[in-house]
């Protein structure tokens, strides 16, 4: 159990048969009346964000989230297959539980599979990936000063906006949290 006075960003709690992660918290002590804690909570399973206030003495059970490194093997229709590299156990996850987390991940790359009480609810891709550009408009020499971008399709099929000087066949580094181009490799 964790009291509301001890809330910090990133802590996961169980409430109303759901798991919430604290995105933002603020201890408020008004001039008149009792102090309270204002929070923004993200429902980990559905992705929705709610705001809730707690008294500082209220207690919530802390949720234990297991993150396990697993290798993404392949997709077969709506199922995505992952393998535990320690004991070679394989699990299949449906597209609903994965969402668009794998749009920058190639086969045979390592991911973190998040579960609560044995139920998998999310997949976290690596923070940065290196991918090859398979389709984009040709670039021109000297197009570096304006900061303009153009769409490019990478080898996983996702579209990324890249600077004008990047060509088809170039390898680029992408931040998977934001989907932004970082650099050429």
pTM, entire model? 0.69
Domains of the chain: 2-60 (2.30.30.30), 66-124 (2.40.50.140), 128-184 (2.40.50.140)
- Per-chain mean pLDDT for the chain: 85
Query: Is residue 2 left, alpha or beta, with left meaning phi > 0 and alpha meaning psi from -120 to 50?
Result: beta
Sequence-separated (6 or more) residues with CB below 8 Å from residue 119: none
Residue 28's DSSP bridge partners are 36
Q: Virtual CA dihedral for 168, 77, 71, 97, nearest 10 degrees?
A: 110
Sequence-separated (6 or more) residues with CB below 8 Å from residue 5: 27, 37, 56, 57
Model pLDDT for residues 83-120, shown as the tens digit of each residue: 988 888 888 888 777 777 788 888 888 988 888 887 78
pLDDT of residue 142: 63
At 88, list the tokens.
């070679």
Model pLDDT for residues 129-162, shown as the tens digit of each residue: 888 988 888 866 665 667 788 889 998 888 999 8
Model pLDDT for residues 2-39, shown as the tens digit of each residue: 888 888 887 888 888 888 888 889 998 888 888 999 99
Distance, CA of 64 to CA of 62 (rounded, Å): 7
Q: Please answer whether residues 172 and 130 qualify as being in contact, where contact means their C-beta atoms are separated by less than 8 angstroms.
A: yes
Q: Please answer whether residues 9 and 24 qualify as being in contact, where contact means their C-beta atoms are separated by less than 8 angstroms.
A: yes
Q: Please answer whether residues 62 and 2 qualify as being in contact, where contact means their C-beta atoms are separated by less than 8 angstroms.
A: yes
């Amino acid at each position: 159990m964790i009291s509301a006075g001890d809330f910090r960003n990133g802590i996961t709690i169980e409430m109303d048969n759901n798991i919430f992660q604290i995105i933002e918290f603020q201890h408020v002590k008004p001039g008149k009346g009792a102090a309270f804690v204002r929070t923004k909570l993200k429902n980990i399973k559905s992705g929705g964000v709610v705001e809730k206030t707690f008294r500082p003495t209220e207690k919530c059970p802390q949720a234990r989230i297991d993150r396990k490194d697993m290798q993404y093997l392949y997709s077969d229709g709506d199922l995505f297959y992952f393998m535990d590299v320690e004991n070679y156990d394989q699990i299949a996850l449906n597209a609903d539980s994965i969402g668009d987390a794998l749009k920058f991940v190639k086969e045979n790359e390592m991911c973190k599979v998040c579960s609560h009480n044995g139920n998998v609810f999310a997949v976290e891709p690596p923070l940065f990936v290196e991918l090859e550009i398979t389709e984009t408009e040709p670039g021109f020499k000297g197009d570096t000063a304006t900061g303009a971008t153009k769409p490019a399709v990478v080898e996983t099929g996702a579209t990324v906006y890249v600077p004008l000087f990047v060509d088809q066949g170039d390898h680029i580094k992408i931040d998977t949290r934001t989907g932004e181009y970082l650099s050429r490799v």
